[in-house]
A and B are shown apart, each in its own frame.
Chain A
Amino acid sequence: MIQMTAEAAEATRTEPVVQMSGVSVSFPGVKALQSVGLTLRAGEVHALMGENGAGKSTLIKALTGVYSIDEGTIIVGGEPRTFHSPAESQAAGISTVYQEVNLCTNLTVAENMLLGREPRSFGRIDTRAMNRRAGETLTRLGLDIDPKSQLGTHPIAIQQLVAIARAVDIDAELLILDEPTSSLDADEVAKLFEVMRTLRAEGVAIVFVSHFLEQVFAISDRMTVLRNGQFVGEYLTAETTQLQLVQAMIGRELETLDKIEQAAEEHTVKTQGAPLLEVLDLGRKGSVESVDLQVFEGEVIGIAGLLGSGRTELARLLFGADTPDRGDMRMRSKGTKLRTPRQAIDHKIAFSSENRRSEGVIADLSIADNMVLAMQASRGWLRPIPARTKDRLVKKYIEALDIRPTDPNALMRNLSGGNQQKVLLARWLITEPELLILDEPTRGIDIGAKAQIQQLVADLAKDGMSVVFISAELEEVLRLSDRLVVMRDRRKIDERANEDVTVSDVLEIIAGEVRNDA
């Protein structure tokens, strides 16, 4: 409440670009937003925080005219407005960049930036003027990208920045960034933040939605927290701690995380005898160079590294998702070659991909079918899983993993990210694997589900399952793993027991190599 008065003083100083108050949106059977407010000021980065399903996307869509609001007012530039389509809100200076880049990869950077607003002369598109104008905008944002290059030739991170440059070119007064960093590595995030700071200095109001707390604290000036479609509060970032923010977002699950950490510390693994999995000189041209690795029974191996370090590529080789072109692999001391996922599954290896939507979820099938898919595939189509066994397994995992909704016939597409991830984990646990490879199992899901999944990994390892755990969040890797493998530039650069290793130690290992090379 003290903050509110401080804000009142502040508010008189800067006129809000957008003020939403008492906004309610409902869908059949659900109240998605109940009387929520959001105030956005020029020259400020405003973080919109909340778990999955808290109403962040709904609020953004209500503002940009994708959804119509049932109650409440939206004031833009001092005037009450109601937008009926994203095009209307864009005309009013509100630009949105979504998590997935919605651009045309077969067009050039400049064409993408000026799509629909191409400069013309004599009725024809003036390519030269277009490239010049795109180049100017890119330079203004400090981006060294050739406007004439084809968009598809750039990595996702650059495409994301082009999407932002496009939004900026529209002369947006308000820029909404919906999870722009979820596929970027640290350097790319730094680049994005530079662009955001440039825009902030120019007086643009920015809404930043992200699951990464560190990033939110690094870039935002102010935060609005939502929970279950309700407004929890608005906070000044400088006066708020991470703990306060997390408590505002969820309230309770923090204790669980502490418990997992304790359990992982108490958990000990015998690394004598024959390892469950051993690879020597494993590699594939263009993805991973010669990796040696041993995984023992009941051990959690954490793989740390930046995006593009080869951590995902290594996981794919271990599962046969990509075929290795060099090296040996031994499972339970028996030499083996994995050329297809199917062979890996026969060797009791399971792999949950980082791309949940494109490589995991079968959106139009039910929870039950999604869960039994891997088991059914390895039994072959002629031996369907008996209905009773299927019901029992599905019911068991819906309960054990606390999956919502609990209806096994619900379509996978209607589940939240966290629940989809749990169904995919169940898909693999049903096959009773000896080695479980998890690539970014907690990406893009809310803190509650995150804690549950981490707890699950700790429990599985205690019961003797070996786990390879990959995550961009180093805290998470360190919390869970017994042994730590660090990768960089497609090579394994370090391996050590996870005893008293801190996040900054890991960062130094990664960065230390950079200095040696330079």
Chain B
Amino acid sequence: MRDLGLRFVRHNLFWPTLALVLLLLLNLTKTPDFFSLRVQDGHLYGSLIDILRNSAPTLLIALGMTLVIATRGIDLSVGAVAAISGAVACTYMAGSPDESTAGRAIIAMTMAVGVAVLLGVWNGFLVSVLGIQPIIATLVLMTAGRGLAMLITDGQITTVNNSLFGKVSTGFVVGLPIAILIALAVFAITAVLTRRTALGMLIEAVGINPEASRLAGVRARTITWTVYVFVAFCSGIAGLMIASNTSAADANAAGLFIELDAILAVVIGGTSLAGGRFSLTGTLIGAMFIQTLATTIPTMGIPAETNYLFKAVVVIVVCLLQSPKARAALSVRRPSSLLAKGATS
């Protein structure tokens, strides 16, 4: 029984899950009906659904980021790519005569995701072919991308009136918000693609030791390139969700600082920034945690602007938990070694 408990505690998702559960319970103290779900017009409503729905863009990007970080990389440009994606979709729709038709919305969204993928190809090229450090390579697009989005929207906040486009973030299918379903679908597809094939193992191998992987015949360059394209694809979809939420493309504000949330979600989920082993489920929990935190703060009567302060505390705690020294200090000494010490002293 104790062994089972110990195994439970040692599981690498134990701490993130515990933190998420505690945070949810904290909400219950202020809002007694926090966990309650209502059905209205065949749609589910409730705080939990809100958290899920609002976390969808971050979760999407964090999934892509997980794979990038697993290859020892990082992508700072995801927020800018999301902004460009929203800008492309909205500008295209706003500029066409039949703005509100479903056909336009589909073309606009396809174009937006296509542009995002191209940007991913660019990032991947810089990192895998030219060998530029990922943080520098993606910094280029992080800064230039906002400018590009401004160019596309002509510096305006471009609003659209299209019901299908609006549904991406606010619509419901089988009682659940579409945004959640999209994010969970991408989660499921990513999990299947990495864990039911050999892709996950090869990504980890490249992240742990790129040269050894290359010499073992792994196409390290292709794999690195692909993950940057994938994260841009995710960012593109996230950008559509963000734009859909307000039915507008805001080149400056859309997806601002979302790269930091995504990276934080990955790290909370237990994937090390040093690359290698990754956990998609961990990232899922991490993204939920960040969104729950953002929801909890106003609930507790604390001004929402202080959100960053609490995130900073989370970052510090996560860093401490990952540092070997802190772990050694925190871990309870094994009884056997205590006995040995007692016997000699």
- B205 near A71 with CB under 8 A, answer no
B198-236 near A? 1/0 per residue, CB < 8 Å: 110110110011011111111100000000000000000
Interface stretch among B122-130, B147-155, B246-254, B336-344?
A: B336-344
- B205 near A342 with CB under 8 A, answer no
Q: Does B334 contact A (CB under 8 A)?
A: yes
Task: List chain A residues, Cβ under 8 A from B217.
Answer: 341-342, 345, 374, 377-378
Nearest Cβ in chain A — how far from B181, in angstroms?
26
- B216 near A374 with CB under 8 A, answer yes
Q: Which 3 A-B pairs have the closest CB atoms?
A: A377-B217, A384-B198, A345-B217
- B209 near A358 with CB under 8 A, answer yes
How far does the alpha carbon of A71 sit from the alpha carbon of B343 in the complex, in Å? 10
- B337 near A361 with CB under 8 A, answer no
Q: Does A379 contact B (CB under 8 A)?
A: yes
Which of the residues A342, A351, A377 comes within 8 Å of B202, measured between beta carbons? Answer: A377
How far does the alpha carbon of A168 sit from the alpha carbon of B192 in the complex, in Å? 58
How far does the alpha carbon of A382 sit from the alpha carbon of B344 in the complex, in Å? 58
- A384 near B337 with CB under 8 A, answer no
Interface stretch among A10-18, A158-166, A363-371?
A: A363-371
Nearest Cβ in chain B — how far from A251, in angstroms?
30
Q: Does A108 contact B (CB under 8 A)?
A: no
Which B residues between 259 and 295 are near A, CB-CB below 8 angstroms? 276-277
Nearest Cβ in chain A — how far from B51, in angstroms?
33
Nearest Cβ in chain B — how far from A227, in angstroms?
23
Q: Does A385 contact B (CB under 8 A)?
A: yes
Task: List chain B residues, Cβ under 8 A from A361.
Answer: 209, 212
If A70-B344, A71-B344, A363-B209 touch, whether A373 touches B337 (CB-CB below 8 Å) is no
A336-365 near B? 1/0 per residue, CB < 8 Å: 000011100100000101000011111111
Q: Does A28 contact B (CB under 8 A)?
A: yes
B-side interface residues, number (CB < 8 Å): 26
Interchain residue pairs with CB less than 8 A apart (10): A70-B340, A340-B214, A341-B217, A359-B209, A362-B208, A362-B209, A365-B208, A373-B205, A378-B217, A382-B198
How far does the alpha carbon of A377 sit from the alpha carbon of B203 in the complex, in Å? 11
Q: Which residue of B lies closest to A72 (CB)?
A: B344
Which B residues between 177 and 202 are near A, CB-CB below 8 angstroms? 196-199, 201-202
A189-225 near B? 1/0 per residue, CB < 8 Å: 0000000000000000000000000000000000000
Name the residue among B198, B211, B216 with the largest chain A CB count within 10 angstroms: B216
Which of the residues B211, B213, B219 comes within 8 Å of A373, measured between beta carbons? Answer: B213
Q: Does A124 contact B (CB under 8 A)?
A: no
- B201 near A364 with CB under 8 A, answer no
Which of the residues A26, A359, A382 comes within 8 Å of B215, measured between beta carbons? Answer: A359
- B202 near A365 with CB under 8 A, answer no
Q: Does A321 contact B (CB under 8 A)?
A: yes
Q: Does A383 contact B (CB under 8 A)?
A: yes
- A365 near B198 with CB under 8 A, answer no
How far does the alpha carbon of A427 sit from the alpha carbon of B216 in the complex, in Å? 8
If A70-B340, A376-B201 touch, whether A358 touches B212 (CB-CB below 8 Å) is yes
Task: List chain A residues, Cβ under 8 A from B212.
Answer: 353, 358-362
A302-346 near B? 1/0 per residue, CB < 8 Å: 000000000000000001010000000000000000001110010
Task: List chain B residues, Cβ under 8 A from A381.
Answer: 197-199, 202
- B196 near A26 with CB under 8 A, answer no
Task: List chain A residues, Cβ under 8 A from B211.
Answer: 358-359
Task: List chain A residues, Cβ under 8 A from B198.
Answer: 376, 379-385
Task: List chain A residues, Cβ under 8 A from B201.
Answer: 365, 369, 373, 376
Which B residues have a C-beta under 8 Å from some C-beta of A? 196-199, 201-202, 204-205, 208-209, 211-219, 276-277, 334, 336-337, 340, 344
How far does the alpha carbon of A351 sit from the alpha carbon of B204 in the complex, in Å? 21
Nearest Cβ in chain A — how far from B209, in angstroms?
5
How far does the alpha carbon of A359 sit from the alpha carbon of B210 in the complex, in Å? 8
- A364 near B344 with CB under 8 A, answer no
- A362 near B336 with CB under 8 A, answer no
How far does the alpha carbon of A340 sit from the alpha carbon of B214 in the complex, in Å? 9
- B208 near A363 with CB under 8 A, answer yes
Work out how many contacts link A and B, with CB atoms closer than 8 A. 82
How far does the alpha carbon of A236 sit from the alpha carbon of B215 in the complex, in Å? 45
How far does the alpha carbon of A351 sit from the alpha carbon of B211 in the complex, in Å? 13
Q: Which residue of B lies closest to A385 (CB)?
A: B198
A378-406 near B? 1/0 per residue, CB < 8 Å: 11111111000000000000000000000
Task: List chain B residues, Cβ under 8 A from A376.
Answer: 198, 201-202
If A358-B209, A384-B196 touch, whether A341 touches B336 (CB-CB below 8 Å) is no
How far does the alpha carbon of A320 sit from the alpha carbon of B112 in the complex, in Å? 41
How far does the alpha carbon of A374 sit from the alpha carbon of B204 in the complex, in Å? 14
Task: List chain B residues, Cβ under 8 A from A369.
Answer: 201, 205
If A26-B340, A376-B202, A381-B198 touch, whether A364 touches B215 (CB-CB below 8 Å) is no
Task: List chain B residues, Cβ under 8 A from A351.
Answer: 215
- B204 near A364 with CB under 8 A, answer yes
Nearest Cβ in chain A — how far from B189, in angstroms?
14
Q: Which residue of A lies closest to B199 (CB)?
A: A381
How far does the alpha carbon of A388 sit from the alpha carbon of B135 in the complex, in Å? 41
Nearest Cβ in chain A — how far from B71, in angstroms?
13
How far does the alpha carbon of A379 sit from the alpha carbon of B219 in the complex, in Å? 11
Task: List chain A residues, Cβ under 8 A from B199.
Answer: 381
Q: Which residue of B lies closest to A374 (CB)?
A: B216
Q: Which residue of A lies closest to B194 (CB)?
A: A381
How far does the alpha carbon of A362 sit from the alpha carbon of B213 in the complex, in Å? 8
Task: List chain B residues, Cβ under 8 A from A373.
Answer: 201, 205, 213, 216, 218
Task: List chain B residues, Cβ under 8 A from A340.
Answer: 214
How far does the alpha carbon of A381 sit from the alpha carbon of B213 in the complex, in Å? 13
Nearest Cβ in chain A — how far from B278, in angstroms?
11
How far does the alpha carbon of A340 sit from the alpha carbon of B337 in the complex, in Å? 51
How far does the alpha carbon of A321 sit from the alpha carbon of B217 in the complex, in Å? 10
- A362 near B202 with CB under 8 A, answer no
Q: Which residue of B lies closest to A345 (CB)?
A: B217
- B215 near A321 with CB under 8 A, answer yes
Task: List chain A residues, Cβ under 8 A from B337.
Answer: 26, 28
Task: List chain B residues, Cβ under 8 A from A341.
Answer: 214-217
Which of the residues B215, B218, B340 comes within 8 Å of A360, measured between beta carbons? Answer: B215
Task: List chain B residues, Cβ under 8 A from A321.
Answer: 215
Q: Which residue of B lies closest to A316 (CB)?
A: B215
Name the residue among B213, B214, B215, B219 with the largest chain A CB count within 10 angstroms: B215
- A28 near B218 with CB under 8 A, answer no
Which of the residues B216, B276, B340 comes within 8 Å of A364, measured between beta carbons? Answer: B276
How far does the alpha carbon of A360 sit from the alpha carbon of B212 in the complex, in Å? 5
- B218 near A364 with CB under 8 A, answer no
Task: List chain B residues, Cβ under 8 A from A379.
Answer: 198
Task: List chain B residues, Cβ under 8 A from A377.
Answer: 202, 213, 216-219
How far does the alpha carbon of A319 sit from the alpha carbon of B216 in the complex, in Å? 11
Nearest Cβ in chain B — how far from A426, in angstroms?
12
How far does the alpha carbon of A405 sit from the alpha carbon of B85 in the complex, in Å? 51
Task: List chain A residues, Cβ under 8 A from B208.
Answer: 362-365
How far does the alpha carbon of A256 sit from the alpha carbon of B34 in the complex, in Å? 72
Q: Which residue of B lies closest to A342 (CB)?
A: B217
19 additional contacts (CB under 8 A) given A369-B205, A381-B202: A28-B337, A341-B214, A341-B215, A353-B212, A358-B209, A359-B212, A359-B215, A360-B215, A361-B209, A362-B209, A364-B276, A373-B216, A374-B216, A376-B201, A376-B202, A377-B216, A380-B198, A381-B197, A384-B198
Task: List chain B residues, Cβ under 8 A from A378.
Answer: 217
Task: List chain A residues, Cβ under 8 A from B196.
Answer: 384
- B336 near A28 with CB under 8 A, answer yes
Task: List chain B residues, Cβ under 8 A from A382.
Answer: 197-198
